[in-house]
């Protein structure tokens, strides 16, 4: 069975359980859910990840990366260059 990369990471870092099937039975889901919710090791790792996520500013990061994209720089240059052409032509 192949795992997606994100689910493999969840299992590797012990933040979740692999059910080792793409079509788990309801009882498998129930048992895995109970284990993750009651086992302190899972809870500690998940809380640690949640605390790290809380330190990020996703909107600021995304807008910063978007502004830094080369295509956006070209667009902003062409937009800023257009008024100059219009001024020079008049």
DSSP per-residue codes, 2-41: ---HHHHHHHHTTSS---SSSS--HHHHHHHHHHHHH-HH
pTM of the model: 0.56
Mean pLDDT of the chain: 80
How would residue 88 be classed by pLDDT, with cut points 50, 70 and 90?
very low
pLDDT value of residue 2: 54
Query: Tokens for 11?
Result: 């299992």
For the chain, what are the domain ranges? 5-89
The answer on pLDDT for 87 being more than 50 is no
């Amino acid at each position: 069975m192949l795992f997606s990369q994100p689910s493999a990471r969840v299992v590797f870092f012990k933040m979740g359980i692999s059910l080792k099937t793409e079509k788990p039975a309801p009882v498998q889901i129930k048992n895995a859910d109970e284990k993750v919710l009651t086992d302190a090791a899972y809870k500690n790792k998940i809380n640690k990840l949640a605390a790290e996520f809380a330190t990020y500013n996703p909107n600021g990061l995304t807008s910063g990366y978007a502004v830094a994209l080369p295509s956006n720089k070209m667009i902003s240059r062409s937009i800023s260059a257009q008024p100059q052409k219009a001024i020079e032509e008049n």
